[in-house]
DNA sequence: CAATGACGATAACATTTGTTATCAGTTTTA
DNA sequence: TAAAACTGATAACAAATGTTATCGTCATTG
């Protein structure tokens, strides 16, 4: 099996039963893309045509708010999916941009192939449901964290969960992710 | 058709094709529950066993944070679903409590019947997927609002979208929903 | 009907967080 | 390799938001 598809196969297999034949047919439609650091693979306002699976590297999902300021919404690490799922599903302009923070390899899954999967794979609809549910869980946790945890607690949780995040992601992006200013994060860190 | 099921049939029909036979078998498992004002139908920490469909009345979804303070997370109006979907799906202790703000009638859909539906209904899995997606959209919008809009803008949007909300929901719950203090909301309102 | 509690406005004050600017060290780029 | 851009710390100040307390009105309850 194409080595780049190994992990994605593993992830999908954890959701549904998929046999060899199905996988060969399904994965034949994957496309692979190399993205250079700082390159943007989805621009806010464009319709999001693909779900990206990060094989290696790192993506940043962000948007520009009404005051023209970038807000970092999510970091997509290796072996996770990244997309504007609402734009992707509804074919409406994306609210987010997605940018590579490092040279990154992604597997592209188009809307068409995902929807074909609903019919072609025996458990295609189930896969769709579980993916939607999984995405939902992420957002649910995110909202709860915002409501219940102070920025510094969220920061500590983040660095505990991803110990090398500080080596890979500039601190002001993390501040933006926490929805506080970079100055404030610096203060919080150095006074706790 | 049982009149209380009319709306829920309408909503489900908007998601998938469901014929009369399927509907009769499916809806026969619904249970109806009357909840008195202030009554709690889901307690934080319990496993959420049902999805609630609000026939009439009004529910408040909230949780108690680490400082012992209630944070209102969501208001469930007529003809919408309400639940702790993560607790419900994963059978883990609920992060939320759900309380009636008015005398309320709900239709209960248990985990078992929803999952039976995945098999019994021709489009059961699709229904599950679309419900998960729909729930996801709500959360996506919620997070975006938090990141991009100031509390007073969110307040104005809320009152524009639900003009009678002020008659039905105490203001301090709305403040909690906006994640600001009730004093601050009062100030914002009366100074804009 | 009286007592109690819930509700929302307001004031005074404390705390948190943002803004702007500067600086030194580092990385990127031409 | 030199210039430019990026990064994070820090200080000084401004703005936003929270906390506590008080008050009058209204709704609920016994």
Q: Residue A67's pLDDT is what?
A: 81
Q: Which of these ranges, A4-18, A51-65, A70-84, A135-149, has the smallest mean pLDDT? A: A135-149
Q: How is residue A192 written in tokens?
A: 């706790």
Q: How is residue A141 written in tokens?
A: 């946790």
Q: Residue B148's pLDDT is what?
A: 87
What CATH number is given for A3-120 in this structure?
Answer: 2.60.120.10
Protein residues closer than 7 Å by CB to strand D: A 166, 170-172, 182-183, 185-187, 189-190; B 150-151, 179-181, 183-184, 187-188
Q: Can you tell me the mean pLDDT for A119-135?
A: 91
Classify the phi-psi angles of A27: left when phi > 0, otherwise alpha if psi is within -120 to 50, otherwise beta.
Answer: alpha
> Count of CB atoms within 10 A of residue B175's CB?
21
* Chain segment B71-122, per-residue pLDDT in tens: 999 999 999 999 999 999 999 999 999 999 999 999 999 999 999 998 899 9
- Verify if strand C has an atom below 7 Å from the CB of A186: no
Cα distance from N-terminal residue to C-terminal residue, chain A: 49
Cα distance from N-terminal residue to C-terminal residue, chain B: 49
The reply to whether CATH 3.30.420.40 applies to domain B3-135 is no
- DSSP secondary structure code for residue B93 in this structure: B
What strands lie across the sheet with B40-42, from one edge to the other?
B40-42, B97-100, B59-64, B70-76
Cβ of residue A63 closer than 8 Å to a chain B Cβ: yes
pLDDT category of residue A1 using cuts at 50, 70 and 90? low
Q: Residue B66's pLDDT is what?
A: 78
Q: What does the alpha-carbon distance between residue B142 and residue B126 come to, in Å, rounded to a whole number? A: 24
Q: How far is A26 from chain B (nearest CA, A)?
A: 19
Residues A136, B139: C-beta atoms closer than 8 Å = yes
Query: Do the Cβ atoms of A154 and A178 come closer than 8 Å?
Result: yes
* Chain segment B11-49, per-residue pLDDT in tens: 999 999 999 999 999 999 999 999 999 999 999 999 999
Residue with tokens 């990141």: B147
pLDDT at B192 over 70: no
Residues B142, A143: C-beta atoms closer than 8 Å = yes
**Average pLDDT score over chain A:** 93
Q: Is the dihedral of CA A174, A175, A178, A184 positive or negative?
A: positive
Q: How is residue B85 written in tokens?
A: 């979907």
Q: How far is B146 from chain A (nearest CA, A)?
A: 9
Residues B143, A140: C-beta atoms closer than 8 Å = no
DSSP B122-159: TTHHHHHHHHHHHHHHHHHHHHHHHHHS-HHHHHHHHH
Domain with CATH 2.60.120.10 in chain B: 3-135
Query: Do the Cβ atoms of B128 and A118 come closer than 8 Å?
Result: no
CA dist A148 to A21, B75, B141, Å? 46, 18, 19
Q: How is residue A104 written in tokens?
A: 């990154």
Query: Do the Cβ atoms of A1 and A8 come closer than 8 Å?
Result: no
* Chain segment A11-20, per-residue pLDDT in tens: 999 999 999 9
Q: Which residue is nearest to nucleotide D6 (CA to C1')?
A: A170
Q: How far is B86 from chain A (nearest CA, A)?
A: 6
Q: How is residue B98 written in tokens?
A: 């759900």
Nearest to A115 by CA among A131, A126, A128: A128
Q: How is residue B143 written in tokens?
A: 């997070």
Q: Which residue is nearest to nucleotide D7 (CA to C1')?
A: A170
Query: Do the Cβ atoms of B125 and A119 come closer than 8 Å?
Result: no
Q: How many beta-carbon pairs below 8 A join chains A and B? A: 77
- DSSP secondary structure code for residue B91 in this structure: T
pLDDT category of residue B1 using cuts at 50, 70 and 90? low
**Average pLDDT score over chain B:** 93
Q: How is residue A76 written in tokens?
A: 């997509």
As to burial, measured by CB atoms within 10 angstroms (0-12 exposed, 13-18 middle, 19+ buried), residue A23 is middle
Nearest to A86 by CA among A54, A53, A111: A111
Query: Do the Cβ atoms of B56 and B34 come closer than 8 Å?
Result: no
> Count of CB atoms within 10 A of residue A33's CB?
14
């Amino acid at each position: 099996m194409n080595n780049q598809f190994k992990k994605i196969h593993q992830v999908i297999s954890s959701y549904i039963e998929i046999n060899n034949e199905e996988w060969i047919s399904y994965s034949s439609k994957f496309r692979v893309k190399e993205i250079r650091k700082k390159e943007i693979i989805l621009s806010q306002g464009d319709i999001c045509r693909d779900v990206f699976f990060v094989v290696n590297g790192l993506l940043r999902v962000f948007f520009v708010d009404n005051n023209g300021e970038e807000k970092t919404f999510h970091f997509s690490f290796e072996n996770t999916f990244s997309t504007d799922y609402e734009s992707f599903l509804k074919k409406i302009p994306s609210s987010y941009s997605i940018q590579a923070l490092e040279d990154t390899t992604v597997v592209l899954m188009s809307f068409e192939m995902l929807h074909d999967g609903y019919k072609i794979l025996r458990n295609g609809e189930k896969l769709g449901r579980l993916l939607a549910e999984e995405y939902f869980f992420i957002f649910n946790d995110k909202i709860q964290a915002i409501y219940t945890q102070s920025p510094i607690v969220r920061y500590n949780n983040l660095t505990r969960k991803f110990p090398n995040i500080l080596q890979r992601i500039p601190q002001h992006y993390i501040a933006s992710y926490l929805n506080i200013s970079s100055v404030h994060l610096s203060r919080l860190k150095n006074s706790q």
